[in-house]
Every structure is written in C-alpha cells, then in structure tokens.
Structure 1
Amino acid sequence: GYDALFGAVAVNPLLTGQPDQSLPASYTPAGDTPPPPGNWKAPAVYDVFAPNATDTGPDSVSVHNLPAGTLPAPPDSYQPGVTPTSQILDGDGQAGFPGFDGEEANNALGYTAAAQEAGIPVTYTYLSDVHDDQYGANNGNAFGPGEAGYEAQIREYNAAFTAFFRRLANDHINKHNTLFLVTVDEGDHYDGSGPLNPGCDGVHTPCQYTAADGTRKVGEVDTSLPNLLGNQSPSNTTTFGFDFDDAPALVVPNQSNPTGPRPGPNDPTVRTLERQLSSAQEYNPIVGHDVPITVNMADENEETILHMVNADPNREPTLTMFGDPSFYFQSSCDTGAPTNLAGCPLQSPGFAWNHGDIQPEIATTWQGWVGPGIKNLGETSSVWTDHSDARPTLMTVLGLQDDYNWDGAAIAQIIGSSHNGWDRWRHDGGSALPWTISVNKRGYEGLTAAYEQLDAPFGQFGLNTLNADTSALAGGSNTNDSAYTATDAQLQACESQRTSLVGQIQAVLQAAERGQAPVSEWEDRYLIGRADRLIADTRTLAGAPTPPSSTVCS
C-alpha cells in the first residue's frame, strides 16, 4: 500500500514531536471563511538560518546584501534553541508550507533538516531559483546575470547551505554516512540585453541593467500565438489549445465537433498549422528585428521517440513546437502591448529565464554527488549523464534492490570506495560498485554511453530524428505531402528498431547493476555496434534532402 501525510497539520507534528493546536474562532485566512470547530494549527518548523531573508508571512524581512567576496557567517554549530532561526510560515502567516516559489534555501533546507532529524531517511528538497526576485528587492522583476540583487540572493543561499550542513553535522549526519545529490531539473536561457557596464563580473563589480530613466531591457518577450498566426495567415482559422511556454505543446481538436475524435498527424488541418508555425516570424524587441519563432517541431511519432507520450491518449499533444527561447507564447496580448504588430510582442520584466526548450543552455544539466562510495572528482564534463541516471546510481551505491524496471544507468565513473560506509556487498575490495560492474567496467561504461545516446531525449538518436521531423513538417502542401508521410514512416521504423534494442540493453545493464551478471564482451560489442548503426541511420535520415526510398533503420 501507499501511506502519505499531506499538509502541515499532518506533517509538522511528525517532524517536531509537538501536537497541533486548535485555531481560534476569530482566525480567518484572507478571502476565506472562519474555520469550523476543531480546525487545527500546525506546530512550527524552523528554518536553518534566521538572518537569511524570507518573503513569507507577516515577519518578512528584506534581503541582506552580504559583502561581496566574504563568506557567510552563521553560527559555528547548530544548537536547538540557541541558533537564531525563525518559523517557516505559509501565506496566511501561520506555521506551514510556504508553497511554490516560497522555497528559498532557508525554508526548504529547514524542512529537510527537520525531516532527517525525525528519522526520515530519504528526503527530496526543491529550492526556488535565485534569478527571480525572491525577496522583493527588485520590485518583482527578474534579475539579469551578475546583478547586485542576484548576487545577494546567491550569498543568502550560500549562508543557508552553510547553516544546513553545520546543523546536520551536529546531528552526526555528514558525507561519511549520508549520500547527497544536488542537481537541477533543467537549465535556463537568459532573455534580455547585456549589462549597461560591460566588463562587470557580478562579484566585484555588480552588473547594471536599469537605465537612468528607470527602464530595463531584461525579460522574456510575451506574444500571443493565436494573434500572430491569425494576422500572418488570415485564411487559416484552425483552432487549437496549448500550454503557455516558450516550447508550447499544441492540441488540435476536431474542428467540426469539439467532442469528436481528434485529427491525426496526417490530417490537412494539422499539417497546415505545422507549416504555418514553421514559417512564422515575430518581432523580437531584444534584438530589434523579426526572427523565426520555431527552432524545432515534433509530431506525435517524434513525441514518442522523445518520451513525451504517456498511457493516456487524451494527454498526448498533437504537436510540440520548440520555439525561440526569447518568447513566451500565450493566448492573449499583454496590457500595453503594441497591437499594431502581429502577436503584439512585449518584453515583460517579471520573468527573464526561460526553460523547457531545446537549446543547449536549457538542455545541459549537472549532478553533484558526495557521500560514501562516491569518488571526489571535482567538476568534470567527461561523463554524459541524464536525469534518469540518478535513481540507478543511488540504488547501486546504496546496495539496494527492488523490482522496478528503471530507465537510465548507474554512473560507474563516479562510484568508488565505500570507506566502511553502508557497503553491504564488498565484492571488490570495499568498492561500492558491485563486482558485476567492476569485472568489466570498461564494457559497462561503453554500453551505458551508447544507451544514453540511443534512448535519452537529448541523445544523438533523439536529436537526429527531431531534425528530420522538423524539416519534413515544414514542407509539402495539401495537394502533395508525400515527403512528410515518407519521413514519418521512416521515423516509425527507426523507433520500432530502437524500442527493441533498448529493451535488450536495459536487461544487460540492470543485471550488472543488481549484481546478477556482468556485461560480457560479446554483449558489449554487439549491442554497442547495433546502437551506433541506428544512430548513424538517423543521421543519414536527418541529412537527406528527400526521404530515402528504402528503409533507413533496419
């Protein structure tokens, strides 16, 4: 079964050992009605570092602009009841969860520390980003790179992490007995002009983005996608729904009967919209001229290749447009936007860091590991990893097993001696690697590298097929769409071949990760060779001016 606790009233007593308290009848949250008898107030969970700023609750304080280049100085060790901390409050000023974008480091790490101290062995923590105005120091506007408020928030986060690790150390929770993983869900693309003082580094010289008249050129460009397409192609009246984003997923309903079956990828309605998106341009005030709005596009079959499809067909997009990351596509125009321009583009200062798109600065992520069984490699870019590698790496290092059929693979390059930590197997002189990996580590690493490039969305197979699909979607006409249909058939054949091969590779890798059987030399050569050939086939497909007459992936 699955047991869970939801809400601070249920969670905070577990973390603090203190009971809930009855709310007074006079307590009325903003816009709410008085609570019925028996409503309860959660006991307080405290943050890790009171001098750190908070923007939640009635006791909010402004950000401390710690001097550049100086280390944060929270207390040398955490002592309950002595170290200065403050209650973590919800939006109504009560002890509770601060909510999304209220997870500044002092708040989020406070809950994490409390959970660890309460004996919860596995904790996940989300931190709000530092490039948005978390503490209200910039009138709610996003920061540019190296801006003083941005750097101040980074120092605040550094101070909170310092207090967090010192608090855990006081609890005897440290890198010698605990595995830590810090990562990001994705990168971000900065939308805005360069600083007004070129040469600034942010640390010693803060970068400036606000002109003397108060104007700023920092922010994404909001544009109405329906307005843009309607102005540029008035004859196309196709209706569609989409999520607001720089890479929107579009759903095209049945145009004559909204409750009827949705049109398929070859439907003329869908294909006309895809061609229109491929050719559409929008004025970008950041660069001062029109630019194409579409970088790449994926139809339903390519979405399957990129692992964007789940078991519910009603949730599958008709197509996904990976757009220019300077834009934020929405349904309506912003107030005050230039209505004389198609799409009424307007640079919006509230957000300046776009994500969810295809660009390298967004797609490139990192993982930071420390703990028993992890090598101290420092920063390295020599290992290609993906988010899905985190779980098998955790399971392998910890010596845990379950019956879950995971994606990804253990990152063997970072796994080393367990130093008498939790290693339960010791098949290889104290290494956290099971012997089934270490006996042919080179073969295992080679196979995982091929597997990543074959199956990961940003691997070479996925990028090649996406480029092929993008070119095919842009071409053809309602009277002759043979090039698109031929390319689509090729992509389906490639996906079928990949699915079969990935299943074979996963079985071999998971057997090694679970200590069941090593990767044999024959499996290594055969499976890597097949993966390389499939990737090369998709490269051929992406580079072909017209779809080949024979099946490329075979």
Structure 2
Amino acid sequence: MRRLIRLAAFAALAAAALVPGQAQAQTQASAQAASPANCTLNNGIKHVISIQFDNTHLFRDRANVPSDLEQMPNLLNFMTSNGTLSDNEHTILISHTAGGILTSLTGLYPDRQGITVSNSYGYFKTGTNATAFSSAFKYWTDKVDDVTPTGVNDPNPNMVTTGGLNTPAPWVPYTRAGCDYGAVSTANVVLENTRTTPAGDMTKVFGANSPEWNEAKATPALAQTDFVGIAVHCAVGGGICNTSTHARPDLLPDEPGGYNNFQALFGAKYVNPAITGGANAVNDTNGHPITDPAGNPGFPGFDGALAKNTLGYIAQMQEAGVPITFAYISDAHDNHTLFRASGPGEADYVQQLHDYDQAFGTFFSRLAADGIDKSNTLFVFTADENDHFAGGNSSDGTWSHTFCNVTGGQTCPANQIGEVTQNIKALVPAADLPPAFDIHFDSAPTVYVAGNPAPGNAQVRQFERDLAAAQNVDPYVSSSPSPVMLRIADPVGQKALHMVNADPQRTQTFTYFANPDYFLTTGNTACPTASVPTCVDYHFAYSHGDVTEDIARTWLGFVGPGVKNLGRTSDTWSDHADIRPTILSLLGLKDSYEPDGAALVDFLDTSAVSRELRAHHESLVRLHTVYKEIAAPFGPFAADTLVASTRAIASGSATDDSAYASTESSISSLTSQRDALEAQMRTALTNATFGGPLASEQQLKSMIDQGNQLLDHASALASAS
C-alpha cells in the first residue's frame, strides 16, 4: 500500500471539489490491435503485458477464507491453465511497495537500484547530519532532496546506483528496440508529483510558466489528474509521440551509452488523446470513463488504480499500438471510501475481489478479440510483496473496526482488526533514549540517530540493547508481555541484506525488525481519545516491510510464447530480481548492466533459451540456486547473518562489548567474500543468458563449491552467536 502519502493526495483531490470535466470517452475496442512498425522481439512475441499488484495474496490469511487469487478465478485459471504460476517467489528488504516494484522493474537488489528503504526513507543532511525524510516515489531522475533548488541537503539521485549515478531506466531496452513503453501507475516510471519548485516535476518536465506548470500552481489537484501516474516512453524515431504536439524530451543524463532524441508523453491529459484517437477519457473495463474522485477524466490516483481502471488503460494502450505495458493494480483489502482496512471474508473486501475478477474476465475477452493472446503476448503477473494480517479471527467475515486501548488494559474482541500501534520511546528507559532521533514508521522501522554516529557508538549500543530486550502486550499473542523484536541489524548487517546503497547519507543507524503485528511510531496514539503508547488501530491491518515468511513469500505468473505450462508450482525458489532477466531473455533484449537476478529457465521452453543455457543447463541451474542462496535478501546467507547480527547487537554492556565487535567483524568479512563471489556468479549467469564469455564447467563447479562453503560459514556463525 502506498500508505498515507497517497491517502493525502486523494484527500486533496476530493476536497478540491472541482467541476467535473466533460468525459469524452473513446470508441470501443477495435477489432484488431494496431501493430507497431519497428518493434521486433524474439519467440514470436508481439506484446508484453506486465502487471504488479499491491499486496494481493495467493496464500490464505485465514484458513476459512479463500485467498485473493482464489477469489479471482479468471486470473488464477488464466495463469495455471496457460502458463506457470510459482508460489515460491519472494520480495526484497525492506519489503514495501516501492522497493518490490523497482527490483521487479530493474532486476536489481535495493543496494544497486537505490531504494533500500520505502515507501519513504530518512537521510542525514549534508553538513549538519540532521535527519530529513523523502518519499521513495519520485520520477526516475529526481534527487533525494528535491525541495531545495540545488538539492543541497542530498544531491544524489533517489534512484542511485554504483558510483552515485542514476540507475539505468527500465524502459530503455524497449524504446531502443523500436517499442513504445506504456506505464500505468508504475512506480517512478511516471511523474509522481506536481511540484512547481525548481526541482519539481512540473518545472523539470514542462518548464516554469508553461501551461502545465501554471495549472499545477493554480489547481494542483487537477494537475495530479492530468499529469501524474500515466506515461508513454516513446520508441526511437518517435513512435506514438509523433501523433502528439505535447511530447517532451525523455531525459536520462546518466544512461549508459547515452539516451538522446527520445521523447515521452507524460500524463493522461496527453496520453489519452494519443491512444484513443482524440478523446480526453479512457474507458474502464465496464465501459465507463476513468476519472478522478472529482469526476475529471484522467488519472484516478494511485489508490484508485483498481483493476477495472488499470486494465482499461492497458487494453487501450495495446490497441493503439503501444506494445509494451507495465502497470500497477492497488490492493483490494483497503477500503479507500471508509479509509480503513477490511478483514478476510468481509463483505466489502469480497465485493472488491469479485469486481477485480470480473474486470479480468472482460480484459482477457477484449484482448482476445483484438488478437492479443497467449500465442503472441508475454503476460507477467506478480505482487510487490505479501502481507502479515494483524487481526484476530472471525467465523463469519465480520470484524471489529474499533480502537483497542492495550495500554489501558482493555480486552480486545476476538474479531479485532488492526495493527498494534506502538510508541517506540515507551519501550526504552527514558535515560537511554538518544537526545534526538527519528524513525521511518513501520513494523520494521529504520532508525536515524542525529549526528549519524558510527556503529559501536556507546549511546546507540545501549539504545539497541534496550530495544532488543523490549517486551510488551501484543493482544493477538497473549495478555502477558512478549518480545517486540524479531531481528535487528546495523550498517554491517544491513550490507549483507543489500540495504546499503551508494549514497552514504541514506544509511540508517539500524533497522528494527519487530513482530509484524506492530506498527512503530515516535508518539502516542489517540485511542480513540486517550493518548496512549500502545493501541490497536483498525485503520491499518496489513503489515509488510518485515522479515517473516508470510510477508516475504509471494507469487509470480508467466503466460505466453516460450513459457512452459507447469500450472502451479513450488519447485523453483526465485525473487523479484529474476523477473526482468526472464522477460528480456524471452524477448531477445538485454540491459546495459548485469542484473542481480537470472532468467528462470525452469519455467521456459528449451527452444526459448540461449544455446549456452541449453548446453550447460544442469550446472547453470545449480549455480543459480546457490547464487540465490548467498545473494537474495531472503536467502539463507542473509537469514543467518541477520541471526548473528541480532544476537551480537543484543549482547554486551557498557563495559564489555567484545562479543558484538567480534561478530560484526565476522559478518563484515563474510559479506565481503559474498559480494566478490556474487559478482562472479552474476557475470557467469548474465553471459550465459545474454551473450559473453562463458564460464567453463570447472569454473561453474568451483563457484558452486565456494558458495556452499560460504553458506556453511554463515550458518556456523548464526549457530555460534
């Protein structure tokens, strides 16, 4: 969920009470989709439709209620009957919407794509080391500090990669190949704000005092509808941008190999006419114009990215000759009218899933009538991450949408719903609190101590020890106090989890992975009137960001040319970094960099993979398995080093911190070895998939053996800590 950031934007739209625009809808779907002239892909693929859901579940949250996908049989059956649906897919750390989507889009773990903490993050300001916060949702080229004119507080890109450069953009291989790339609510690929400051998106894209800039200045809610959330990055030669006078330069100054003379259409105001033949509205799958809450045609908001809206946009783009579409669908379990979460089996939740299912049924039928189907289209479906449902139990789908005052000793009803909102300061003796610190509110809060002290700082160490030992009443666990924390990591441990990027100002002091029933803040909660440190808040009930299996493990579906029909399978462990290289390998495209993932060849027909992958299939599959075990944020190397980190940080005293120092040194050494071996394996897998010098069987075996030895050392450290 794009938590709070998006709710605020939606509230602004509703409050604006704008006069609804005349929603001129496009004509109904054409009998045959337009064919892009210069977009040539491998394996007979003519179209790519990639959809990433927000927190949509294949596994059941409660045994007596069918899961989200079970309640969407049109989608579930499409994947299992025509392709492969893996239920052994995993997200990354920190496991939130922005990070999960951006790893899927780039094939890079957070340390190399930049978003190590989301959906917002803290950073230490240049010069003062005071803490500031930034949204992770920003257009691809935006800076961390996009408030001051020059980014003085942190001039690095939000999407930062090795060397402090801007991460390569995900649409580039497609547009260079002659394919227009459409995006619907896709994180950081579309404009994300309407700011008119010097570094704001309206200024950078359209220019100060332009009509768009003036609209954003005068009516920012309308500008959100017109310019945010929808985009087409146009192919070399112009593509669909040639049909519009409103295309703007698609600027990527750090793109490897340069990216000159490309254009893009930003916003529904300009995309809609280009893909409808001149209409100012696109229809949803029910045939109704897609509008914002005030009735203006255009972007419905990120929380308004319902299946009917997103699928309507995808179909219209494909029919207009935009062959590559990447899109986002918002979760079904948050009621954006009542501004609260809904529990498993609750009537509004069930209805929303029914509506999603109907939208997919209409969508697939419409595409089939257009000649867009599994014979010529690569379909990819996944979710950014799974969730932990914070709630009790209900036999009939009714849930108690009330606050529960845990501090006051209130007994919560059996069907209580909501996260246990906890003031982190109340978990620590007041004398041990740092004079100034802040956190990213979350079930796994990242902590920023003012001054950016180095690991091992005495005051920070006592703060960490206190939090590691903290106990409190979680009403879903017991009426007696139980541990709040699951795991904890400081910068040494975070590096092993791929949570330290190329911008040192964004490295948090430590990360506190709590029991995911909790949502940690730095203040008390009105519960509903008494201000207390511990309160169940029914507005939010689906936690992510944390390290538990119910959050980490999600699902991934492929349908189309070159994809095996395996139905539902658990046989291959994968994570979001593997999605992009799998797609590109099928299409015959490649990135300018080595991805952190690898093509999931077990899901692909033999004829669809490279000759090198076929010739060394067994060894490369074994290498991929060990590679994921040492590299993945939810792999065993990461899990074992996190166990060791937790025990080390919880240990010691003001007079003896030797166990902490020793274990930190061991983790650092193992991580350095891991990083070096990971890079070798990454090169071998990339070359075998996309071309390049191929490692010999002996070299592959050596890397596999080294990986297994490294895993043994990490396991031993976890056991000994």
TM-score, normalised to structure 2, is 0.60
1:13 counterpart residue number: 273
Q: Would you identify which runs of 4 or more consecutive aligned residues in structure 1 move more than 6 Å? A: none
Unaligned runs of 5+ in 1: 20-42, 50-84, 198-205, 255-261, 418-430, 546-554
Query: What is the aligned partner in structure 1 of residue 543 from structure 2?
Result: 354
Equivalent position amino acid for 2:645 in 1: D
**Per-residue deviation, 1:402:** 3.4
Q: Please report how far the alpha carbon of residue 519 of structure 1 lies from its aligned counterpart in structure 2 after TM superposition.
A: 5.0
Determine if the alignment matches structure 1 residue 414 to structure 2 residue 600: no
Q: CA deviation at 1:123?
A: 1.2
Contact 2:442 2:521 in 1 (8 A): yes
TM-score by length of 1: 0.78
Deviates more, 1:371-380 or 1:476-485: 476-485
Tell me the residue number matched to 1:103: 305
Which position in structure 1 is the counterpart of 2:149? Answer: none
In the alignment, structure 1 residue 381 sits paired with structure 2 residue 641: no
1:443 aligns with 2:619: yes
Q: 1:48 aligns with which of 285, 292, 297?
A: 285
Secondary structure at the residue paired with 2:568?
Answer: coil
Match for 2:490 among 259, 275, 299? 299
Task: Kindly state the Cα deviation for residue 268 of structure 1 after the two structures are TM-superposed.
Answer: 0.8
Q: Distance in 2 between matches of 1:322 and 1:123?
A: 35
2:526 equivalent to 1:335? yes
8 Å CA contact retained: 1:103, 1:126 = yes
Counterpart pick for 1:158 among 353, 357, 367: 357
Question: How far does the alpha carbon of each residue in 1:301-334 deviate from its partner, in whole angstroms, 9 at most, with x for none?
Answer: 1111111111111111111111110011122222
1:284 and 2:544 are equivalent in the alignment: no
What CA distance in whole angstroms lies between the structure 2 residues aligned with 1:157 and 1:101?
A: 14
RMSD (Å) for aligned C-alpha atoms: 2.1
State the partner residue of 2:173.
none
User: What secondary structure sits across from 2:554 in the alignment?
Assistant: coil
Contact 1:285 1:346 in 2 (8 A): no
Q: CA deviation at 1:237?
A: 4.1
In structure 1, distance between residues paired with 2:496 and 2:275: 43
The alignment partner of 2:330 has SS state of coil
Instruction: Give the whole-Å Cα distance in 1 for the aligned partners of 2:265 and 2:471.
Output: 49
Separation in 2, partners of 1:14, 1:333: 50
C-alpha distance in 2 between matches for 1:276 and 1:338: 29
Q: What is the CA-CA distance between 1:520 and the residue it aligns to?
A: 3.1
Aligned to 1:367: 556
CA distance in 1, matches of 2:613, 2:716: 34
Q: C-alpha distance in 2, partners of 1:518/1:48? A: 47
Q: What is the CA–CA distance in structure 2 between the aligned matches of 1:376 and 1:518, rounded to whole Å?
A: 29
Greater relative contact order structure (CA < 8 Å, 6+ sep): 2
Cross-structure match for 1:173: 372
Q: Residue 512 of structure 2 aligns to which amino acid in structure 1?
A: M
1:228 Cα offset (Å): 3.6
SS at match of 1:498: helix
> 2:11 corresponds to which residue?
none
CA distance in 2, matches of 1:300, 1:541: 18
Shift in CA distance, 250/3, structure 1 to aligned 2, threshold 3 Å: farther
8 Å contact from structure 1 (residues 251, 318) kept in 2: yes
Please give the alpha-carbon distance, in whole angstroms, between the structure 2 residues aligned to 1:320 and 1:115. 41
Equivalence for 1:404: 593
**Matched residue, 1:314:** 505
Instruction: Indicate whether 1:221 and 2:410 are aligned.
Output: no
Determine the structure 1 residue equivalent to 2:56.
Answer: none
Match of 2:321 among 119, 130, 135: 119
| Contact preservation (8 Å) 1:238, 1:269 | no
In the TM superposition, what whole-angstrom CA distance separates every residue of 1:379-432 from its partner, at most 9, and x where no partner exists? 111100010000110111112223222111100100006xxxxxxxxxxxxx10
Structure 1 residue 210, shift from structure 2 partner? 4.5
**1:337 shift after superposition:** 5.5
Structure 2 alignment gaps of length 5 or more: 1-258, 403-411
Amino acid at match of 1:241: D
The answer to whether the Cα contact below 8 Å between 1:464 and 1:539 also exists between their aligned partners in 2 is yes
Counterpart AA for 1:542: A
Aligned to 1:465: 641
Pairwise CA distance, 1:467 = 0.5
The amino acid across from 2:516 in the alignment is P
Q: Residues 470 and 103 from structure 1, CA distance in 2 versus in 1: closer, same or farther, beyond 3 angstroms?
A: same
* Pairs aligned (count): 451
Q: Decide which moves more: 268-277 or 518-527.
A: 518-527
Cα distance in structure 1, aligned partners of 2:423 and 2:317: 44
Does the 8 A contact of 1:444 with 1:519 survive in 2? no
Structure-1 residue corresponding to 2:74: none
Query: Within 2, Cα distance between the matches of 1:265 and 1:485?
Result: 10
Which shifted more, 496-505 or 280-289? 280-289
Aligned equivalents of 1:289 and 1:263: distance in 2? 35
Report the CA distance between 1:284 and its aligned residue.
1.7
What is the alpha-carbon distance in structure 1 between the residues aligned to residue 530 and residue 657 of structure 2?
35
Among candidates 699, 703, 717, match of residue 523 of structure 1: 699
Cα displacement (A) at 1:211: 9.7
Match of 2:157 in 1: none
Is contact 2:581–2:598 with CA below 8 Å preserved after alignment?
yes
SS at match of 1:221: strand
DSSP-derived class of the 2:329 partner = coil
Does the CA contact (< 8 Å) of 1:281 and 1:291 recur in 2?
Answer: yes
Q: Tell whether the 8 Å contact from 1:302 to 1:466 is kept in structure 2 after alignment.
A: yes
1:323 alignment partner, one of 505, 514, 521 = 514
For the residues of structure 1 that align with 2:492 and 2:400, how far apart are their CA atoms? 46
1:247-296 Cα offsets, whole Å, 9 max, x none, are: 01111112xxxxxxx21011112111111110112222333332221100
Instruction: Percent identity, please.
Output: 40
Partner of 2:12: none
SS at match of 1:187: coil
Pick the aligned partner of 2:461 from 268, 271, 276: 271
AA in 1 matched with 2:459:
T
Q: Are the counterparts in 2 of residues 436 and 516 from structure 1 also a CA contact under 8 Å? A: no
* Aligned ranges 1:187-266 → 2 under 5 Å: 187-195=386-394, 197=395, 206-210=396-400, 217-229=416-428, 232-254=429-451, 262-266=452-456
SS of structure 2 residue aligned to 1:503: helix
Q: Which residue of 1 aligns with 2:175?
A: none
CA contact 2:425–2:433 (8 Å) conserved in 1: no
CA distance in 2, matches of 1:471, 1:297: 9
Q: Is this contact kept in 2: 1:338–1:344, CA < 8 A?
A: no
Contact kept in structure 2, 1:337 and 1:344, CA below 8 Å: no
Equivalences for residues 81-96 of structure 1 within 5 A: 85-96=287-298
**Kept after mapping to 2: 8 A contact 1:302/1:469:** yes
1:506 and 2:695 equivalent? no
1:489 alignment partner in structure 2 = 665
- Check conservation: 2:432, 2:459, Cα contact below 8 A: no
Letter aligned with residue 239 of structure 1: A
Change (3 A) 1:302 1:338: farther
**Pair 1:295–1:86, CA change in 2 (3 A):** same
